């Protein structure tokens, strides 16, 4: 009977290739204690994880880009206030977070590979192995927090502030949930919530950041996008550690959620205005099959986008519209 490859065996191969350098097939097979034929099967299986392994006679095998795998022990040691789970392959970190028991909150699910990541308005979110930072934070409030509709904006501010602190001065936010650099999407945010027994409110905040995503087929691309590595190079900065970035981002999110239940959006409103890429620009608002153009005038206290058109001011909520600059 053929041996079914385990996740542990495939991860061991990924780790040997993670430096992005050439490794001979003989060395890889010997390290794993397998034949060259068995190694070839493992290399082929990595395609299931959306890893494209280069092969060249006389050189061996390599990954096009180095990979820093998520380190669950390092993350948990740095973030003792959160319960950390690192998944190798999952459908969606938000699906896993929503299904997890609320009494374990606050808890975080991160993944090397998402097969069915969710974006806004039902869009899919492509998340190749090790090429993104894909995570979801589950948090339970004792009651519905004030200005719940503005919470995604505050999460965006957290992300932008962390990235700016790491040297990405050009980062901006497009209402309601896109993280951008020079008009190209760097990441996205999706919040889901549900009521709990006793009036509690449970939030799952899903975040995806492109770090070194390879070129994607046209049918998977819905708007111009950019990798963090590329954006940092353009700013004269070195790539960031994936684990270090996750730690900084989760620390900022923990602080935000700890305060939001009493303070609401007000402490984050001024910072949103700083990062807002739509403010004072002409935008096109799409509501189903209908649309109109107007001037974006920032957001109100509840996070609604204010658009001035034909002498009227419209308050737009993220579940109802799409906005294009």
Known catalytic residues are 120, 185, 324
Mention every residue, 6+ apart, whose C-beta is less than 8 A from residue 210: 131, 132, 185, 186, 187, 225, 226, 227, 228
What is the DSSP code (8-state) at residue 308? Answer: E
Q: What is the DSSP string of 235-272?
A: TT-PPPPHHHHHHHHHHHHHHHHHHHHHHTTHHHHHHH
Q: How buried is 194 (Cβ within 10 angstroms: 0-12 exposed, 13-18 middle, 19+ buried)? A: exposed
- What is the C-alpha to C-alpha distance for residues 287 and 163, in angstroms, rounded to an integer? 32
Mention every residue, 6+ apart, whose C-beta is less than 8 A from residue 68: 18, 130, 241, 242, 243
Maximal CA-CA distance, the chain = 74
SS3 193: strand
- What is the C-alpha to C-alpha distance for residues 135 and 150, in angstroms, rounded to an integer? 20
Contact 177, 318 (CB under 8 A): yes
* Count of CB atoms situated within 10 Å of the CB of 72: 14
């Amino acid at each position: 009977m053929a041996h079914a490859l385990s996740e542990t065996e495939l991860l061991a191969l990924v780790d040997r290739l993670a430096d992005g350098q050439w490794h001979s097939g003989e060395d890889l097979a010997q390290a794993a204690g397998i034949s060259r034929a068995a190694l070839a099967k493992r290399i082929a299986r990595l395609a299931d994880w959306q890893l494209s392994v280069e092969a060249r006679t006389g050189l061996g095998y390599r990954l096009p880009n180095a990979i820093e795998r998520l380190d669950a022990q390092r993350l948990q040691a740095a973030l003792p206030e959160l319960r950390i789970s690192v998944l190798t392959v999952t459908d969606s970190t938000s699906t896993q977070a929503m299904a997890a028991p609320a009494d374990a909150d606050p808890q975080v699910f991160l993944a090397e590979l998402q097969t069915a990541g969710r974006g806004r308005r039902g869009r899919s979110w492509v998340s190749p192995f090790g090429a993104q930072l894909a995570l979801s934070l589950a948090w339970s409030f004792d009651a519905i927090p004030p200005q719940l509709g503005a919470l995604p904006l505050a999460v965006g501010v957290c992300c932008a502030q962390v990235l700016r602190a790491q040297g990405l001065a050009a980062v901006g936010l497009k209402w309601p949930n896109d993280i951008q650099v020079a008009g190209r999407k760097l990441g996205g945010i999706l919040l889901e919530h549900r009521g709990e027994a006793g009036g509690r409110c449970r939030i799952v905040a899903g975040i995806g950041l492109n770090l070194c995503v390879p070129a994607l087929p046209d049918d998977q691309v819905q708007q111009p996008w950019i990798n963090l590595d590329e954006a940092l190079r353009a700013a004269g900065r070195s790539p960031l550690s994936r684990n270090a970035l996750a730690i900084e981002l989760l620390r900022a999110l923990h602080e935000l959620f700890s305060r939001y239940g009493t303070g609401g959006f007000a402490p984050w409103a001024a910072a949103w205005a700083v990062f807002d890429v739509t403010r004072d620009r002409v935008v096109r608002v799409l509501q189903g099959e209908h649309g109109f153009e107007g001037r974006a005038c920032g957001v109100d206290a509840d996070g609604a986008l204010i658009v001035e058109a034909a002498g009227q001011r419209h308050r737009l909520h993220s579940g109802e519209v799409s906005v294009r600059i």
